[in-house]
């Protein structure tokens, strides 16, 4: 795409023109492939929003650490000697190389391989080779690895690169009501396996749009999965075209429908204890609800039951996040999530069900990827990049009047209303 075209897209994004277009039901195709637009997203979204790094259970003991990214910023997430979670930029305070070059492990300190500066896992500089021959004490006192803001919610660890950003709690708002369905299902907390990591040739937005809004694709993309009965069949399930609520609530959106995930869940009793009365009522009342969705900007989640062995199903949950590398290059992290208090056998079956249906070899997820990379690739076309893609399904639909839960909802089997919510949220950041 010519530079002028890119500038135009960027200018339209900041001025509100693209928001208007999205609300009328279309997006320029190159929104998935433009370098300029991507740079704007990196700066205005990924350096301002709360971004998921991992789960507390990945670093259970003092000294444990994992290394994660926000776009190109590399971060060390560790548990210091006092048991506190800490997040540091993986950047030596001398001349800036990585002080940690593994993915995870356990250490009380990080030693920079370049000139040997050593930092404790509290971030403090504790060792400088030839200290007396190199610096006066004053110039190297009080040095520690830089820390972004970070916070946790129900075990999930987030960071925010903007010092002035609102708190995580404010950011999430009432979306926690729904987020708990995936990560807050036990009084003892949840645990994760993984992550599986892989690189895809697709724009990061497609997965988020898809998981919070697009049930329509299931009919075609995931047809093979219903043909082989991968998911547990539910007698009361009204089928693939049953109406569902497309819910929009602060930092997220999801699709909820009648579903027996919670009703049939082996850990039902303890889940009930972990939930508020309103939460439990929604998932176990007269019309028990379940579903899948996205926390903005880039975290997807889903809960379902998979036919894991002959005649045997298991509840599975995943959390998936996207690390944008380029407009057409994204690293995907997926974790399997399970109740900490579940019996070992259930945890194992649940993990196996996840591996079968989702994640890199999952029979559901593998059919999604080709769609997303193809949409991205076609967006690079000199002509097709300037074409429109549609997000106008049920553009004029009224809000559902019977939704008395947090946020608002639209009722339809299929709708693109949550995609429009996603873009409105995005443009709040891009226009700021």
Partner 1 sequence: MQTEPISKPVDDIELFHRVRSFLTREAELIDARKFDDWKELMTEDLEYKIPVRATRGENTHEDDFLDMHHVEDTKYRLEKRINRLNTEYSWSEQPPSRTRHLISNVQVGNRDADDEYTVKSNLLLYVSEGDDPDHKLLSGRRHDVVREVNGSLKLARRIIHLDNTTLPLDRISIFI
250 binds, among Fe ion, partner 1, ligand FES, none (CB under 5 to 8 A by kind): none
CB of 307 to partner 1, least distance (A): 8
Nearer to partner 1, 254 or 357 (CB): 357
Q: What is the per-residue DSSP string for 311-357?
A: TEEEEEEEEEEEEEEETTEEEEEEEEEEETTS-HHHHHHHHHHHHHH
If you search the block for the tokens 């873009």, which residue do you land on? 423
- In the list ligand FES, Fe ion, partner 1, none, the entry touching 351 (Cβ below 5 to 8 angstroms by class) is partner 1
Is 95 or 152 the residue whose CB approaches ligand FES more closely? 95
C-beta of 195 vs 315, nearer to partner 1: 195
Secondary structure class of 273 (helix, strand, coil): helix
Residue 224 binds which entry of partner 1, ligand FES, Fe ion, none, CB below 5-8 Å type-dependent: partner 1
- Rounded to an integer, what distance in angstroms lies between the CA atom of residue 395 and that of residue 24? 8
Nearer to ligand FES, 90 or 260 (CB): 90
Residue 120 touches which member of ligand FES, partner 1, Fe ion, none, C-beta under 5-8 Å by kind = none
Least separation in angstroms between residue 127's CB and ligand FES is: 10
On whether the CB atoms of residues 125 and 93 are closer than 8 A, the answer is: yes
Name the one range near ligand FES by CB under 6 A: 115-123, 324-332, 361-369, 400-408: 115-123
- What SS3 state is found at 139? helix
Between strands 388-390 and 26-28, the pairing is antiparallel
Q: Which of 199, 177, 229, 213 has its CA nearest to residue 376? A: 199
Ramachandran quadrant class, 248 (left: phi over 0; alpha: psi -120 to 50; beta: rest): beta
Binding site for partner 1 (CB under 8 A): 102-107, 193-202, 220-221, 223-225, 227-228, 230, 308-310, 331, 336, 351-352, 355-356, 359-361, 363, 365-367, 369-371, 373
Q: What is the CA radius of gyration of the chain?
A: 23
Nearer to Fe ion, 34 or 292 (CB): 292
Partner whose binding site includes residue 107, from partner 1, ligand FES, Fe ion, none (CB under 5 to 8 Å by kind): partner 1
Q: Which two tokens stand for residue 301?
A: 């989640």
Cβ-based neighbour number of residue 74 at 10 Å: 16
Report what 356 binds from Fe ion, ligand FES, partner 1, none; CB cut-off 5-8 Å by kind: partner 1
Contact by Cβ (8 Å): 307, 218: no
| Residue 414 touching Fe ion (CB under 5 A) | no
Which of Fe ion, partner 1, ligand FES, none does residue 95 bind to, with CB < 5 to 8 Å depending on kind?
ligand FES
Smallest distance from the beta carbon of 298 to ligand FES, in angstroms? 31
Q: Which is nearer to ligand FES, 118 or 313 (CB)?
A: 118
Q: Does 94 bind ligand FES (CB under 6 A)?
A: yes
C-beta closer to ligand FES: residue 16 or 96: 96
Q: State in angstroms the smallest separation of the CB of 104 from ligand FES.
A: 21
For Fe ion, give the closer residue by CB, 206 or 295: 206
Query: Is 368 among the residues that bind Fe ion (CB under 5 A)?
Result: yes
In the block, tokens 């809960």 appear at 303
CB-nearer residue toward Fe ion: 156 or 206: 206
Instruction: Tell me if residue 68 falls in helix, strand or coil.
Output: strand
Interface residue with ligand FES, options 77, 112, 172, 409 (CB under 6 A): 112
For residue 183 the two structure tokens come to: 């990560």
Is residue 258 left, alpha or beta, with left meaning phi > 0 and alpha meaning psi from -120 to 50? beta
**Given candidates 52, 92, 183, 303, which one binds ligand FES under the rule CB under 6 A?**
92
Structure tokens at 65: 């650490």
| Helices vs. strands in the chain: H and E counts, helices first | 14, 20
Judged by DSSP in three states, 100 sits in coil
By the rule CB under 6 A, 117 interacts with ligand FES: yes
Please, are residues 317 and 182 in contact by the beta-carbon 8 Å criterion? yes
Residue from 15, 114, 387, 431 touching ligand FES (CB under 6 A): that is: 114
In sequence order, what DSSP letters do the residues of 23-48 get, joined into one string? HTTEEEGGGGT-HHHHHHHIIIIITT
Binding site for ligand FES (CB under 6 A): 92, 94-97, 112, 114-117
């Amino acid at each position: 795409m010519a530079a002028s075209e890119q500038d135009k897209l960027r200018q339209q994004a900041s001025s509100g023109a693209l928001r208007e277009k999205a609300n009328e039901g279309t997006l320029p195709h190159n929104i998935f492939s433009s370098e300029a637009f991507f740079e704007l997203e990196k700066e205005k979204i990924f350096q301002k929003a709360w971004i998921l790094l991992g789960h507390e259970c990945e670093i259970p003991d003092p000294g444990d650490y994992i290394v994660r990214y926000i776009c190109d910023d590399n971060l060390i997430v560790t548990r210091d000697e006092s048991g506190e979670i800490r997040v540091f930029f993986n950047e030596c305070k001398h001349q800036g190389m990585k002080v940690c070059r593994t993915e995870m492990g356990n250490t009380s300190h990080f030693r920079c391989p370049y000139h040997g500066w050593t930092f404790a896992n509290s971030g403090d500089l504790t060792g400088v080779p030839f200290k007396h021959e190199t610096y006066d004490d004053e110039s190297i006192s009080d040095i520690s690895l830089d820390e972004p803001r970070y916070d946790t919610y129900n075990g999930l660890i987030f960071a925010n690169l903007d010092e002035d950003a609102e708190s995580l709690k404010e950011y999430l708002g009432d979306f926690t009501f729904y987020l708990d369905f995936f990560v807050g299902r036990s009084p003892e907390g949840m645990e994760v396996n993984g992550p599986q990591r892989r690189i895809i040739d697709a724009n990061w937005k497609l997965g988020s749009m898809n998981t919070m809004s697009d049930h329509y694709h299931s009919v075609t993309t995931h047809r093979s999965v219903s043909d082989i009965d991968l998911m547990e069949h539910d007698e009361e399930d009204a089928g693939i075209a049953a109406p569902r609520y497309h819910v929009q609530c602060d930092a997220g959106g999801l699709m909820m429908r009648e579903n027996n995930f919670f009703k049939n869940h082996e850990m039902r009793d303890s889940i009930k204890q972990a939930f508020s009365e309103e939460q439990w009522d929604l998932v176990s009342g007269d019309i028990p609800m379940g579903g899948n969705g996205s926390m903005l900007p880039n975290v997807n989640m889903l809960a379902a039951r998979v036919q894991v062995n002959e005649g045997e199903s298991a509840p599975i949950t995943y959390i998936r996040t996207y690390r944008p590398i380029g407009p057409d290059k994204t690293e995907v992290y997926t974790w399997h999530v399970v109740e900490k208090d579940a019996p070992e056998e259930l945890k194992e079956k649940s993990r196996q069900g996840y591996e079968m249906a989702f994640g890199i070899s999952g029979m559901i997820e593998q059919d999604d990827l080709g769609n997303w990379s193809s949409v991205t690739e076609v967006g690079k076309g000199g002509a097709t990049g300037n074409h429109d893609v549609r997000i106008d399904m049920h553009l004029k639909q009224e809000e559902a009047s019977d939704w008395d839960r947090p946020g608002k909802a639209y009722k339809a089997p299929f709708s693109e209303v949550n995609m429009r919510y996603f873009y409105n949220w995005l443009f709040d950041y891009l226009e700021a």
